[in-house]
Structure 1
Amino acid sequence: MSFVTVRNVFQSYGPRPIIERVNFEAEEGAFVSIVGASGCGKSTFLRLLLAQEQPTRGDIRVAGADPAREPGLDRGIVFQRYSVFPHMTVRENIVAGESFRRPWGRFFGADRKAALARADDTLARIGLDHVADQYPATLSGGMQQRLAIGQALVAKPRVLLLDEPFGALDPGTRLSMHDFLQDLRAETGMTVFMVTHDLEEAFKLGDRVLVFDKPRWDPHDPNRYGATITYDFDARDGGIPFQTLKEDTHVLQANG
């Protein structure tokens, strides 16, 4: 049974179509990478999955429930730009991510002590344990993005949405964050959708790779038609060779 079901989804902003005729199903625990040229509706699709926006037509269902009208705790997101709580220390930001599901949104007593220990373990895994007592404003942009990713992951949503989450990270840190994401996904079974312009990253992390593109194009009015899923690749067990896709599929040459 499908866990995430997207049925005939269209989204327009005023008269301008962004995506059209999007149909898709994903099993629970899947990792879906999304690629394509800029302006093809990838981030819009994530916002629809989050229920931050409502589609012009069609519906999106998670676990068979009615379409969500607003974001809930079952869905988490990390945007291209870091988003953390500036009034909390780095450690407290991680604890806050885990506390979202608690009745009062806070830990007390022995529970708080255990949550702080888990936060320190998370910070060590994402390379921020040396700044645990600092505030986000004192960190570099890349460090703040690592913090935002760690905070979203420890909240353990059923669906995690990532919009170019590793773009601001140096290559070594990016690889360590890949490992952290894969480990936590294995532990929690969360379903992940990730937008990226890095094809190697898309195929490394994803079980499936979706390509968004505009199958119809009007040279006199480039905004006349919206984008849709034009390719859906199985990336498991090596999938289709990366080089072949890069050579044969022009739309995969996403260039930001």
Structure 2
Amino acid sequence: MPDFLKTSDGHYIAYEKTDGHGALADAPTLIWCGGLKSDMEGGKATHLHTWAQARGRAFIRFDYFGHGQSSGDFIDGTMTRWAADIGRVRDRLTTGPVILIGSSMGGWAALLTAIANTPRTAGLVLINPAPDFTEKLTVAGWSEAQIKALENDGVVYEPSGYDEPYAYSKALIEDGRARQILDMPIPVTCPVRILQGYEDTVVPWTHSKRLIDMLTSKDVTYTLVAGGDHSLSRESDLRLIETAIESLSV
């Protein structure tokens, strides 16, 4: 069963946390930052939690506002809110350095969190990261009818791989437009490991590759995974993620 972190506006964030122990008890806490409409019970999140616990690494996975077992309606969420949720988890559940592991939308949220508080971020592992996806991937592919629907109805619905469709609210699109980071230097100085599926049809590798030019960090690696899709959840993919985390833990 998860624990719950109450926020200042009366909402709560569901999370599961295990503390570090043994030789790695003081290593940076690993925080899983999931993707859009995913939750902390997803395959990569639970696999990495079990993997970290077996090695004595502190690990936290949680549900954003409007996701999973946390409170709030998904349609009211924004990138600002979801990035702030990562900050709340970091600031209230940890005291030392952290490594943020961001998947898809969570990669963007993790980057925004690292920009806001660079000293606490010891490293970033970004899996098929989708910075600026609302404007550069979603709205960029909309028809004129969808753009009009956003203006008239305040929301556009699109199919998702979940029980409910994606609901792109006007607030999410406008907030995402204001929080874009790919068109300027990204002031993140910690080591960054990017894993990108070559066959990803949700976030094309040509999109995430732009991070290489924009990140100011001097320690950035970009791994293009042959045959990898958007989930990157094959056994070989999971090994790559584990290796990326370990490369930041020396």
TM-score scaled by length of structure 1: 0.26
TM-score (norm 2): 0.27
Which protein is bigger by CA-based radius of gyration?
A: 1
Q: Using CA pairs under 8 Å that are at least 6 residues apart, name the structure with larger relative contact order, 1 or 2.
A: 1
